[in-house]
Structure 1
Amino acid sequence: MKEFEQVIDRKQTRSVKWGNMEAVYGVEDASDILPMWIADMDFKAPEPVIAAMQERLDHGVFGYSYICSKCKDAVRSWLSSRHGWETENDWMLFHHGVVPAIATVIETFTKVGDNILITTPVYPPFFNVPGHQSRNIVECQLREDNGNYSIDFEAFEKSLQQDVKVFILCNPHNPAGVIWTEEELRTILRLCKQYDVLILSDEIHADIVLPGFNHIPLAKLAEEEGGKVITCVAPTKTFNLAGVQAAIMITKEEELRNALQQNAFAHGQMELNAFAASSLVSAYTECEPWLENLLEIISTNMDYVIDTLPAAVPGISIQKPHSTYLLWIDYRGTGLSEEEMMDRLLNKGRLALEPGTKYGEAGRGFLRMNVATPLAIVKEGVERFIKAMQ
């Protein structure tokens, strides 16, 4: 698996992760800061995807593209074989990313001033996108026990009673890497059905599941439990194609699809670009072996950090997640404030991690670390963290 050992220079490639830290962290010169923050990988995309893009590039004509049945077949086959979720081609609508899809769903099914429910700590666009559309955020804080998270369903139901229109579910959860149990997912469905709340299930991390765990698509259970569900999936997180921009919104409900399609017409939204379509088909039909190797690398990298960092830095605790390539580091035992911790990491360790409050106040005392990078970089990141704490 040498392809996952290669350290690739990503500077001067317009990489947000490697080239935009001055703006994100407010530092004058980030040239020597090691970025382990935003969730994209430092690995090359799978070779079959690169070959598919090269073939499309070599054709030389890049006119308007459309989503053909081959694209939908690839998605449908992947969801069936990987997650046991049987879908139909006509359930699918394509978008340029999961975050734009979230924005579309919020705009389509709510109005200004409506309440949107999220469970915190959670992925920042769950706050930001509805907020920019002048919707109100209702926060239900997850129950946390020594870094392990679960849903407080008494609080969840009380939140739903606040005239909530949409609940945005992170499944698997980012940043904590939790795969929700079948019982938890069924309870979510029953409660949201009871209060007539549409569920938007963000399942972009569904393929990045560590050994011993299995992702359960919410919509698969909804076939028994009922309820209104729109699921967002994408090959971009799985195969490191975020800059190519492709996502799929899936719902069995024709009424919901028609409303989403009308929104697309209203915005003049075009289909995926030629490279995105080619990449999607290749990723879902040729790259499962690459993904299996990737999951081994991620698990190994996580084990290294978990075995090394808490032993070297008193007050640090890390639970190995079920999913994602992100570690949620608990530093509450150090006694440091978030401001003190970030100052040490950035200015002494020259290491960029994400502060927990980026994911809501419920994330205070935690840091998010991206370990989807060669082990040599992971080791350097750990060394820099230790240096920052000396």
Structure 2
Amino acid sequence: MKSYLLQAKRGITHNKSRTFLTALGIIIGIGTVVLVFSVGEGFKSYINAQVDAFGSNTIFIETSVPASTKDLANGASDSGNVNSSAMNAVPVTTLKNRDVKDVRSIPNVKNSYGASMGQEVVSYKGISKNIFIFGADASRFDVDKGIIALGRPYSEEEDKSLAQVTILGADIASDLFGDTDPLGKYIRVGNYNFEVIGVYERKGSTGISNDDKQIFIPVSTLQKKILGIDYLFYAVVELYDNSKAKISALDVSEVLRRNHNITDPSRDDFKVNTQEESLSVFNTILQAITFLLIAIALISLIVGGVGVMNIMYVVVTERIGEIGLKKALGARNKDILFEFLIEAVLLTLLGGIIGILGGALFAYIISKVAESFGFSWKFIVPIYGVVISLSISMIIGIIFGVFPARNASKLNPIEALNKE
């Protein structure tokens, strides 16, 4: 075996540029496979972290535009729901603070809070920024996992009394106050002065929103003084037992239908989603993208394999005299077969190793770029991805190397020497 490996090494290093160009398809294909696995694991880790931060045992209630009678008649919507975010011209105003309180009576519900959002100019000593304002009732601090680095959360009494108090996201605190302690100071929010009572620990972007660039105030204050509304955008329900989430989601739906006077579920003006359902959507999207990229990588690997096969045929032709001499000196067919097969496998393994390193490098760059945009993205190269990549490299070498190796082993020594 050692002699086979030494001969394969000599064959590969004899013409380094040709070796590199031959392995390029393998390098690209394996690099893509590793990149897909690494980015996929990083994305899943990121999503799981966001779910944990939001509360893994929670149910999400969002408003939804109910299907019109005409839509139902035309069969335009079997589910009866159209997400309100896709139809901004049709605001849904039926989700109220009462709904949030009433779902707390459900046996498996531990807590709940409602939230609204708006946008307003926030200023302090000549520094002005147009930012998003997040309003939620005080129960949010018991449900969400956000950490207040400085100060305190606002209370239920402050929410009821429309108190003008705020907690700043980390970036907003830095933009407005720099290194100065913001606690106890007042910022201008629209036409009102708000006392800064806290600053959140830096959280990073979720891809949809960035808490670091927002301020947080009592939901009643936001509704009455800033937005002039009396409804919620969404609500979050915390459960005691997440294994009963689907049953609890049905119970929540029943409470909302009763409060909204809905008898036909197809006319629901809300959607109730469990964390499992939300993760299922993300996983489905991730799997579809992964399969597509893996398919592209496999095409590259096949092309690379054909390249390896062609170059091995060239190598056999170049070394035809050497093959004839070895066979004349007693080398068996299987000795010649193994010699060229090992050379092909070593070539594809070399391409695979370079591809793994290249894919990992690109995955690392992507993680750093994501971090620069505020995403808490982990750089992960899964062991299974490396094992699969090396296995694919070996299989490609065997499949596409066996034919030229077989041809070499069957050469007649006399004819081979005469051709030389």
Please report the TM-score for the alignment, with normalisation by the length of structure 2. 0.21
- Of Structure 1 and Structure 2, the greater helix share is in 2
Larger RCO: Structure 1 or Structure 2 (Cα < 8 Å, ≥ 6 residues apart)?
A: 2
Please report the TM-score for the alignment, with normalisation by the length of structure 1. 0.22
